[in-house]
């Protein structure tokens, strides 16, 4: 039997400059208000300085890089598993994880379960929302708006087998969680400074830049 397709994303963290064009292009296409971001750009960095008595910086090991993340349309989607109504579902024909709005009761369990913060609550309409892989664009032979918008060509999208062949050089890096949990369909080319997933000595530095969907949470969820 022919294997169903599984779509996924690729992000090159050596190219990404954290410009957020993907995030904003997505918002324009999907009419998203401030507070809802189907694609989020995590700034990760660390290191420090040794300064001597003359105020000279003797040593520094500062680094930073960005990771642009949307929904990874996981092979073991935690959001689907916890959804009490079946609104959150994984489409067999292309592996995209989608929400049936009519069935969503906005309970927020998927928000708690997803280690990538992909489900984004629309507090005005009272529904959970998320990246749908721009499936209507895919059907027209286009790429998702984020991918086509990227000024640095750091993003890609396609069937995972094709992406893996195209980008054999990929790693699991911080601040992303261990992929074993949900088997995300995401390939990441590592930045020179990349820290391994779960082992980073740095921090996410930009929680204020659209990474927090639930306003009473001071930090967004990653991991």
Partner 1 sequence: MQRRYFLKMSASLTGAAALSGCNPFADKASTAATPLAPESVNWSACLVNCGSNCPLKVFSRDGIITRIETDHSFEDGYGNHQVRACLRGRSVRQRVYAPDRLKYPMKRVGPRGSGQYERISWDEALDTIHQKLGGIIEQHGNESVFFTYNSGAYYHFGGKQNYYRLMNLLGGYLGSYGDYSWGQMYQAAKYTYGSEALAYAGSAMAEMSNADLVLMLGYNPSEIRMSGSGEAYDFLMMQQSGRFKTIIVDPRYTDSALGKEDQWLPIRPGTDAAMAEAIAFELISQNRIDQTFLDTYCQGFDERTLPDGVPYAASYKSHILDNTDPASLQPGPNAKTPEWAAKITGIPADTLRQLAKQLADTAESGRVYVQIAASLNRHAAGENTIRAMYMLPLMLGQLGLPGTNTGALPSGASMHAPRMPMGSNPVDKSISFFTWTQAVEDGANMTVLRDGVKMPEDQLDANGDGKLNTGIKAIINYAGNALINQHADTNRTEQILQDESKCEFILVVDNWMTPSARYADIVLPDVTWLESEDLISQGYAAGNTATVVQMSSSVGPMFECRNSYDVCTELAKRFGVEDAFTEGKTTQDWLDQFYAEAQAANPGLPDKEVMLKQGVYRQYLPQGSHIALEDFRKDPQAHPLDTPSGKIEIYATPLAYKEAHWQLPDGQQERVTAIPKYSPHRDGYEDVETRQRYPLQLTGYHTKGRVHSSYHNVPWLREAVQDAVWINPMDAAERGLKTDDKVRVWNDRGEIEVAVKVTPRIMPGVAALGQGAWFKGGQFQGGKVDTGGCLNTLTSQQPTPLSKGNGQHTNLVEIGKAPQQAEKSTEE
Task: Please report how close the Cβ of residue 93 comes to partner 1 at its closest, in angstroms.
Answer: 25
Q: Is 145 in the site for partner 1 (CB under 8 A)?
A: yes
Please, which residue, 84 or 198, has the CB nearer to partner 1?
84
**How far from 199 is each of 131, 142, 176, CA to CA, in Å?**
28, 37, 10
Would you say 219 and 208 are in contact if contact means Cβ atoms under 8 Å apart? no
CA distance 95 to 93: 6
Stretch that binds partner 1, among 63-71, 85-93, 160-168, 180-188 (CB under 8 A): 63-71
Q: How many residues line the site for partner 1 (CB under 8 A)?
A: 67
In the list 11, 74, 109, 187, the residue contacting partner 1 (rule: CB under 8 A) is 109
Phi, psi of 102 (to 5 degrees): -65, -25
Q: Is 86 in the site for partner 1 (CB under 8 A)?
A: no
In the list 8, 21, 134, 156, the residue contacting partner 1 (rule: CB under 8 A) is 21
Please, which residue, 73 or 193, has the CB nearer to partner 1?
193
Q: Is 215 in the site for partner 1 (CB under 8 A)?
A: yes
* Helix extents (H) in the chain: 21-30, 78-82, 109-113, 135-139, 145-149, 160-166
Task: Please report how close the Cβ of residue 38 comes to partner 1 at its closest, in angstroms.
Answer: 13
Stretch that binds partner 1, among 3-11, 64-72, 85-93, 172-180 (CB under 8 A): 64-72
In the list 4, 17, 86, 100, the residue contacting partner 1 (rule: CB under 8 A) is 17
Q: Is 136 in the site for partner 1 (CB under 8 A)?
A: no
Q: Is 34 in the site for partner 1 (CB under 8 A)?
A: yes
Q: Is 14 in the site for partner 1 (CB under 8 A)?
A: yes
- The residue length of the chain stands at 223
CA distance 39 to 22: 7
Nearest to 68 by CA among 118, 34, 28: 118
**How far from 42 is each of 36, 59, 69, 207, 209, CA to CA, in Å?**
15, 26, 8, 8, 9
Q: Is 60 in the site for partner 1 (CB under 8 A)?
A: yes
Q: Which residues of 12-43 are buried (b: 16+ CB within 10 A; e: fewer)?
A: bbbebebbbbbbbbbbeebebeeebbbbbbbb
Which residues would be at the binding site for partner 1 (CB under 8 A)? 14-21, 23-25, 27-29, 31, 33-35, 37, 41, 45-49, 51, 54-58, 60, 62-66, 105-109, 121, 123-124, 126, 142, 145, 148-153, 191-193, 205-210, 214-216, 218
């Amino acid at each position: 039997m022919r294997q169903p397709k599984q779509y996924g994303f690729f992000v090159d963290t050596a190219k990404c400059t954290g410009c957020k064009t993907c995030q904003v292009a997505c918002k324009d296409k999907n009419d998203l208000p401030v507070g809802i971001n189907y694609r989020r750009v995590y700034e990760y960095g660390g290191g420090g300085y040794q300064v001597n008595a003359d105020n000279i910086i003797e040593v520094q090991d500062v680094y930073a890089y960005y990771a642009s993340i949307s929904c990874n349309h996981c092979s073991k989607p935690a959001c689907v598993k916890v959804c009490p109504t079946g609104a959150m579902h994984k489409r067999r024909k292309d592996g995209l994880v989608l929400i049936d709005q009519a069935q969503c009761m906005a309970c927020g369990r998927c928000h708690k379960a997803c280690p990538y913060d992909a489900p984004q609550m629309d507090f005005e309409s009272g529904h959970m929302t998320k990246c749908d892989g721009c499936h209507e664009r895919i059907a027209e032979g286009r790429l998702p708006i984020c991918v086509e918008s990227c000024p640095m060509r750091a993003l890609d999208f396609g069937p995972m087998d094709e992406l893996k062949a195209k980008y054999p050089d990929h790693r699991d890096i911080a601040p992303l969680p261990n992929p074993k949990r949900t088997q995300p369909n995401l390939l990441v080319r590592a930045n020179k400074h990349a820290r391994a997933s779960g082992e980073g000595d740095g921090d996410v530095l930009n929680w204020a830049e659209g990474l927090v969907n639930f306003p009473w949470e001071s930090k967004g969820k990653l991991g």
